[in-house]
Each structure stands twice: as structure tokens, then as C-alpha cells.
Amino acid sequence: MVNTGMQLISFTCAVTGWVMAIAVTALPQWKVSAFIGSNILTSEIKWEGIWMSCIYQTTGHMQCKTYDSMLALPPDLQAARALMCVAIFLGWLSCTVSCCGMKCTTCAGDDRRAKAGIALSGGVLFILTGLCVLKAGKGNNFWTVSGGEEL
């Protein structure tokens, strides 16, 4: 079994990744499209997330709109929502299980094999969390630049 310091560092990294997955779920920058017109004054950036879409214009005006109906969304967006929600739940579950299996806690008493098994299952849950996040983000075009009309 690894030492306590390595477990704490690994657990901290895993929890940080889980918190970042929560932040990514809430942010609207899943797909970013930039429209640049014939002059620089007519440019706008469109952000599309899994919960809302936003348009930012060069005048400094930003307008965001949440999606009205879940059933009206494309299937890939519905799948991304579901996977990110599952990932957040699995991350919470893996944090709980991993805490119980760490050497610095008193769960499972002095049974080293039980603690090792609990820690291993927490690690597997963290890996599943990461795979859900990776699968949800797969296939999104991050930057698209389109030109405006020629004068």
C-alpha cells in the first residue's frame, strides 16, 4: 500500500479535477464560433454550452439564453448533459469512497486489505468519472471562424 503523503496528493488532484468538471459543466464555452465581418467593428463571438448559448459583440454587449426544451436539443447535446451529470455524481461518490479507504482515516479499522480494496474502488470510480467527462467533450468543435460578406 502506498504511503499517506502520496494518497493525499493523489486525492487532492482527483478532487481538483472533479471540481473543474463541475465548473466546465456550468460554463457556456463548449463550442465557440467567431464571426468577423468586413471590418473589425462587426465581429461577434457565439458561445454554446450544454445549458445555454451566449453571443458577445464587440460593442461589449453580451446576451445569454438558456435552452427552452430539453427534448428540442440535438442528441449529442442531450448525451453531453447526461454524461456530465453522471460524472458529477460519480465524482462525489468516488470522493466519499476514497476518503474511507485512505490510510489517514479510521474507516474499516485496522484491516489493511479492506482499506486497500476501498481505496482501489475509489480510484476506479475516479477513472470512470474522467471517462464520462472525456466522452461528453468528444466531438465538439472548439473554434470556428467564419468570414463576413465582401464589400
Characterize the bridge pairing of strands 143-147 and 62-66: unpaired
pTM of the entire structure?
0.79
pLDDT in tens, 54-88: 998 878 888 999 988 878 888 888 888 899 999 99
Report whether pLDDT(149) > 50: no
- The fold of 4-147 is Butyryl-CoA Dehydrogenase, subunit A; domain 3 (1.20.140)
Q: Would you call 60 helix, strand, or coil by DSSP?
A: coil
* Confidence category of residue 95, pLDDT binned at 50, 70, 90: very high
Amino acid letter, residue 2: V
pLDDT in tens, 112-147: 888 889 989 999 999 999 999 998 887 554 444 455
What is the phi/psi pair of residue 125, to 5°?
Answer: -65, -40
What span, in angstroms and rounded, lies between the C-alpha atoms of 8 and 90?
Answer: 19
For the chain, domain boundaries: 4-147
8 Å CB contact between 15 and 30: no
Characterize the bridge pairing of strands 62-66 and 43-48: unpaired
pLDDT at 147: 52
